[in-house]
Amino acid sequence: MVLEMKIEKELIMKISKIFNRILPVGAMAIIAVACTDLETEELDSIVVESTGGGFTAGDPAALLEAMYTSDIAAFTDQNNMYALYTHTSDEMIPPTRGVDWGDNGVWRTLHAHTWDATHATVLNTWNTLNQRVFKASQIIASNPTAQQRAEAKFLRAFHMWNVLDLYGVVPFREVDEGVDVDPRVMTRSEALAFVLDDLESSLDDLPSIGPNLNDAEIQGDNIYASKAAAHALLSRIYLNKGVYEADNPAGPYTFSAADMNKVIEHADAVADEGYSLDSDYFNIYTGTSNAEVIWASGSGTAQNRWFMTLHYSQNPSGWNGFTTLAEFYDKFDSNDPRISNGGPGTTGYTYDADDFGDSYSGLGKGFLIGQQYNDDGSQTVDSRTTLPLSFTRDVPLSGAPTGSGIRALKYHPADAGRYILLRYGEVLMNKAEAILRGGTGSTSALDIVNDIRTSRGGATLASIDETGMLDERGREMYWEGTRRLDLIRFGQFNVEWHEKTNTDPTRVLFPIPSQALSSNPNLIQNDGY
C-alpha cells in the first residue's frame, strides 16, 4: 500500500511536471486555433431584431378594420367555435358516414361528450379566441380615438366572453410583455368582471347603429360594434352570470334579480336603438332589409351553413355532414312557421311544379326531411347509392347511411345575407327568461314569448315554465350556436340524449388544451380532464 502510494505520488509529480511543460504550449496552440466566435451567419433569411418586451403601436383604424373584415370570419366556419357550441348540444349531430367524416373521431367525440385536452377543435378555438383578445388589446394600446377604443373593447369582450364561457379561465397577456413572460390567468369571475367592464365602459363611446332597412346594402353598418351590439351581448352575459359565478361550474346556479334586471335593462336598450322583430322568420337570414340583425360578420359568408349539411347530390353540392336530431325536431309543432317556409323538401311539402325552375329552387328553408328535389323539380337521386335521396329522421352517430338525418337550412344559397352574430330575437328571449327567473319587467315572460311567436305568424302558448322556456329558445334560435349555453343554464347539459351517454358534470367546461397547459405554467387544468 505504501509502495503504491509512493508510486502514485511520483506519478502525479511526474505528470504535473510534464503538464507544466506541455500545457502552456498546448494551451497556446489551442487558443491560437480557436478560430470562431460562433456567431451565426445568415445567408438565406433575415434576422428580426428582438421581439421580446416593448410594444410598437400600430394604426388603430387599420387594425380594427382587419378584425371586422378578416378575423371575425372564424365564426362563420362550421368548425371551431361553432362546432363546440352546437355539436355538444342536443340540436345537432355530426354523424360518420362510411369512410366520410371519420376524421379520427373529432366530430363524434363532440356529440358523445368524450373530447379530451388534445382535441384539435378545443385547441384551435382556444388559440383563435385568445389571439383575437390579444389583438384587441394591441388596438387599445395603439392610441385609438375614444370610439376606436370602445370598439376594440367590445371586440375584446366578445372574444374573451367566449373563452370564459367555454374554458372557465382566461389567460391574459399585456401588450408589452415579452416571450419570457407567462400570461397571467384570470378566474372565471375575474374574467367576467373584466368583460363586463370592457362592455359597460365602452357603451358611451360606441356609435348608435340602427337596423339596416336599406335593401341595397347587405346589413350595411351592422358589421361594426355599436351600442345595440354591446347591449345585446350584455343581455346574454348577464343572463348567464349566475352560471359563471357558481362555485361549481356545473351548478347549482343562482340567478340574482339584480342580474336579471340588467338583462331586461340591456334588452330594452337594444329596442331603444330601433331594433324589432321581423314578421318573416326566414327573412332574417337573407340579405334583404330587416330590423333584427344587430351584428353580423363583416367577412366570410354563411355558405358553410349550407355546405355542412346539404347532400353532395343536391344543388349546391354539400359535404353531407351535420343533421339535427329527431328528438329536437319533435320539439316543434308542425304549424310552427319557424320549422319551414313550405319550400321543396321541407316538412310536409307537397309537390308543386311552380316551385321550381330558378337556381337553388329545389331547396326549401327550415328543416329538410323526406324526398329532396332538384331545381327542375325532379327527385334528387343519391349519386352513390343510385336511390332517390330522402332525408330520414334516424341518424346513428357512426355508420350513418348517406341520406340519414334531418337537415336544416336557415341561410339559403339563393338569398343568404351576412352571417349573424347577434340578433334581436335572442335579445327578447333573454328578456323573457330574465323575467321568468325573477327579473322585473313591464310584461310577463309568456307575453314576450307569445309576442315573438305571433309576430312570425305562429300560435300562442298557454303557459310557460322553465322547460317550456328552454324548448322555446331552441325553436327560436336553432343552429345559431346558443344551445349549449341554454342547456347548461337550465341544468340539462349533463343528461343523456341520443348516443350521448356521458353525464359527467365536468363537461360543462372544455379542457385547457394540453398544448396551452405545457406552454403556460400559470394554467391549471379544469376538473375532470
Partner 1 sequence: MKKYLLLGLSLILGASLWAQEKKISGKVTDAETGEAVPGANVIVKGTTNGTITDFDGKYELSVGSDATLIYSFVGYAPKEVVVGNQSVINVGLDLSVEELAEVVVIGYGEVEKGDATGSIASVKAEDFNGGVIASPEQLIQGKAAGVQITNNGGEPGSGVSIRIRGTSSVRSGNNPLFVVDGVPLAGDDVSGGGENFGLGSQSAKNPLNFLNPADIASIDILKDASATAIYGSRGANGVVIITTKNGKGASQLDYSYSLGVSSITKKYDLLGASEFLSAYEDFNDAAAAATINGGTETDWQDEIFRTAISQTHQLSFGGSDPRGDNYRMSLSYSDQEGIVDQNNMKRITARFNNSKSFINNRLTVTSSMTIASVTDNHVPITDNAGFEGDLLGNILKANPTQPVKNADGTYNQLSSTEPNPRAMLDLSKDFTNTIRGLGSFSAAFKILDALSFKSVYGIDRSFSGRKTVYSGDLLTPGTQPGGVKAGRGFTSDIEVNNTLWENYFTYNQKLGNTKVNAVVGYSYQKFDRSSKVFEMTNFRTTDLDLMLNNMASVNIAGNPNSVVVRNSSKVIDELQSYFTRVNFDISDKYVLTATVRADGSTKFGSGNKYGVFPSFGAKWRVSEEAFAPSMFSDLSLRAGWGITGNQEIPHNVYQQRQRYSDYDLDNNGNVSGGGLGDVAFQNPDLQWEETSQFSVGVEYGFLDNRLRGSVDFYNKVTTDLLIQVTSAQPAINPFVWQNLDADVVNTGWEFQLEYDLISTSDLKWTFSGNIAFNHNEVQNFDGQLNTAEINGQGLTGAYAQRIADGQPLFAYFLREFGGFDENGISVYPNGDFQEFTGDSPLPTTTLGITNTLKYKSFDMSFFFNGMFGHSIYSNTANAFFTAGSLANGRNVTKDVVGNGESNLNAPDVSTRFLEKADFLRLQNVSLGYNIDVSGISWIGSLRVFATGQNLFVITDYSGQDPEVNTNKPTTLSSFSSIPSFGIDYTPYPRARTFTFGVNISL
Q: Which of residues 44-83 bind partner 1 (CB under 8 A)?
A: 44-52
Nearest distance, CB of residue 330 and partner 1, angstroms: 24
User: In this structure, what DSSP letter does residue 390 have?
Assistant: E
Contact set for partner 1, span 172-211 (CB under 8 A): 172-173, 178-180, 183
Near partner 1 by CB under 8 A, which window of 15-23, 140-148, 198-206, 301-309? Answer: 15-23
Q: Which residues 333-392 are close enough to bind partner 1 by CB under 8 A?
A: 386
130 makes contact with partner 1 (CB under 8 A): yes
Report how far apart, in Å, the C-alpha atoms of 260 and of each of 81, 216, 239, 241, 325 are: 26, 38, 6, 9, 31
Decide: is 10 part of the binding site for partner 1 (CB under 8 A): yes
- Dihedral sign for Cα atoms in the order 416, 417, 422, 428: negative
Q: Which is nearer to partner 1, 46 or 353 (CB)?
A: 46
Asked if 506 is part of the footprint of partner 1 (rule: CB under 8 A), the reply reads no
> Which lies closer to partner 1 via its Cβ, residue 54 or residue 348?
54
How far apart (Å, rounded) are the C-alpha atoms in residues 106 and 375?
34
For 161-209, give the secondary structure using H, E and C. HHHHHHHCCEEECCCCCCCCCCCEEECHHHHHHHHHHHHHHHHHHCCCC
Q: Does 116 sit near partner 1 (CB under 8 A)?
A: yes
Nearer to partner 1 by Cβ, of 183 and 441: the residue is 183
User: In the complex, what is the shortest distance from the CB of residue 444 to partner 1, in angstroms, rounded to a whole number?
Assistant: 44
Q: Residue 295: enclosing H or E segment and its boundaries?
A: strand 293-296
- Round to whole Å and give the CA distance between 429 and 334: 21
Decide if residue 7 touches partner 1 (CB under 8 A): yes
User: In whole angstroms, how close is the CB of 304 to partner 1 at the nearest point?
Assistant: 16
Stretch that binds partner 1, among 217-225, 269-277, 480-488, 516-524 (CB under 8 A): 516-524
Quick check: helix, strand or coil at residue 288? coil
261 conformational bin, left if phi > 0, alpha if psi -120 to 50, beta if neither:
alpha
Q: Find the shortest distance in angstroms from Cβ 99 to partner 1.
A: 4
What is the nearest approach in angstroms of partner 1 to the Cβ of residue 218?
29
**DSSP H helices in 456-499:** 466-477, 483-489
Query: Does 131 help bind partner 1 (rule: CB under 8 A)?
Result: yes
Binding mask 398-417 for partner 1 (x = CB under 8 A): xxxx----------------
Phi, psi (5° rounding) for residue 2? -60, -45
**Near partner 1 by CB under 8 A: residue from 74, 84, 106, 206:** 106
User: Quick one: which of 20, 36, 334, 463 contacts partner 1 (CB under 8 A)?
Assistant: 36
Q: Hey, is 410 helix, strand or coil?
A: coil
496: exposed, middle or buried (Cβ count in 10 Å: 0-12, 13-18, 19+): exposed
Beta-strand (E) ranges in 332-443? 366-368, 370-371, 390-391, 407-409, 420-423
Query: Of the two residues 182 and 415, which places its CB atom closer to partner 1 in the complex?
Result: 182
CA-to-CA distance for 168 and 187, rounded, in angstroms? 7
422 binds partner 1 (CB under 8 A): no
Helix (H, G, I), strand (E, B) or coil at 423: strand
Q: Which is nearer to partner 1, 18 or 257 (CB)?
A: 18
CB 302 within 8 A of CB 282: no
**Segment interacting with partner 1 (CB under 8 A) among 62-70, 168-176, 363-371, 442-450:** 168-176
127 counts as binding partner 1 under rule CB under 8 A = yes
Q: Is 11 in the site for partner 1 (CB under 8 A)?
A: yes
Min CB(428)–partner 1 separation in Å: 34
Return the number of the residue (97 or 338) whose C-beta is nearest partner 1: 97
Exactly one of 1, 41, 215, 462 binds partner 1 (CB under 8 A); which one? 41
Least separation in angstroms between CB 359 and partner 1:
24
Residue 319 burial (CB count, 10 A): 16
Say how many residues touch partner 1, by CB under 8 A. Answer: 81
Residue from 82, 85, 126, 158 touching partner 1 (CB under 8 A): that is 126
The answer for residues whose C-beta is within 8 angstroms of residue 118's C-beta and 6 or more apart is 513, 514, 515
- Spatial separation of the C-alpha atoms in residues 287 and 405, rounded to whole Å: 28
The amino acid occupying position 184 is: R
The span of 64-72, 92-100, 139-147, 264-272 binding partner 1 (CB under 8 A) equals 92-100
